């Protein structure tokens, strides 16, 4: 049971928009801690996709964007491409657990 | 730019101690261990600050020790009294000062706990 809740899977056709939710609580996202997103391609280590709610590291396409409101955050992928098929994880910090916490991950399938 | 390479035994017997090493090049501030059971999500294990101070996930704190040997450019992870639930891919990852995300990851090393 992950501290942050994500849908297990989502899918979309090429070119479509997919939005992945990440729901937390008052001790993590709701406390104002930033939400970060990682992309994990099959058989590889996670790679930071979005940091600090909506900052893209160099090299990350602007098709990826993040947002946060209250105790939830979202990752949007616009113009879905075949290469976006991967697992996506949200991450924050939890002040009651004194730990960095992750969502359970969302597998995105490109139809 | 930081590069990380995890290494260690791929098989550990139940009740024994899991010992892993992360060899690094480059500089960072917080050196972390994160694990991922097959087909499951990520779990932060803990970090060692470049000065040697540590912070651990409360769920694992009683069994975990993370240390740094700056002269050898190595981070070590020791997890005692392992069970099958500790079977996972173990990643070394860095976090820079003032940030709360993991910016660089190693490729990971798979550890199986089995007799």
The string of pLDDT tens digits covering residues B48-72 is 999 999 999 999 999 999 999 999 9
- Least CB–CB distance from B100: residue in A33, A46, A98: A33
Strands (E), chain A: 9-12, 18-23, 36-40, 47-50, 64-69, 72-77, 86-94, 99-102, 106-110
At a CB cut-off of 8 Å and minimum separation 6, what does A28 contact?
A: A3, A4, A71, A92, A93, A94, A95, A101
CA-CA distance, A64 to A87, in Å (whole number)?
14
Instruction: Classify residue A14 by its DSSP letter.
Output: T
Q: Write down the pLDDT at residue B80.
A: 98
Would you state the structure tokens that stand for residue B28, as one six-digit string? 């960072």
What is the C-alpha to C-alpha distance for residues A68 and A73, in angstroms, rounded to an integer?
Answer: 4
Q: Do A102 and B101 touch (CB under 8 A)?
A: no
**A8 to chain B, minimum CA–CA distance in Å?**
10
- Model confidence at B97: pLDDT above 90: no
Mean pLDDT taken over chain A: 96
Contact A12, A107 (CB under 8 A): no
Nearest CA in chain B to A44: B107
A83: helix, strand or coil = helix
Here the tokens at position B24 are 């690094």
A32-65 confidence digits (pLDDT tens)? 999 999 999 999 999 999 999 789 999 999 999 9
Test B101 with A89 for CB contact under 8 angstroms. no
| B38: its two tokens | 């097959």
Nearest to B35 by CA among B95, B110, B115: B110
């Amino acid at each position: 049971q992950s501290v942050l809740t994500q849908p297990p899977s989502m899918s979309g056709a090429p070119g479509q928009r997919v939005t992945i939710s990440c729901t937390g609580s008052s001790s993590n996202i709701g406390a104002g801690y930033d939400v970060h997103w990682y992309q994990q391609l099959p058989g590889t280590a996670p790679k930071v996709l979005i940091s600090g709610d909506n900052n893209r590291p160099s090299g990350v396409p602007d098709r990826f964007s993040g947002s946060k409101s209250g105790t939830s955050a979202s990752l949007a992928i616009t113009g879905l491409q075949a290469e976006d098929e991967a697992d996506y994880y949200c991450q924050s910090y939890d002040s009651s657990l004194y730990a960095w916490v992750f969502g359970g991950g969302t597998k995105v399938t490109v139809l | 730019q930081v590069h990380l390479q995890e290494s260690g035994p791929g098989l550990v017997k139940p009740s024994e101690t899991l010992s892993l090493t992360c060899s690094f090049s480059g500089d960072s501030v917080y050196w972390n261990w994160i694990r991922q059971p097959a087909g499951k999500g990520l779990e932060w294990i803990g970090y060692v600050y470049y000065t040697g101070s540590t912070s651990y996930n409360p769920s694992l704190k009683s069994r975990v020790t993370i240390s740094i040997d700056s002269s050898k450019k190595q981070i070590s992870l020791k997890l005692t009294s392992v069970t099958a639930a500790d079977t996972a891919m173990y990643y070394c990852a860095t976090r820079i000062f003032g940030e709360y995300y993991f910016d660089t990851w190693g490729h990971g090393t798979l550890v199986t706990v089995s007799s």
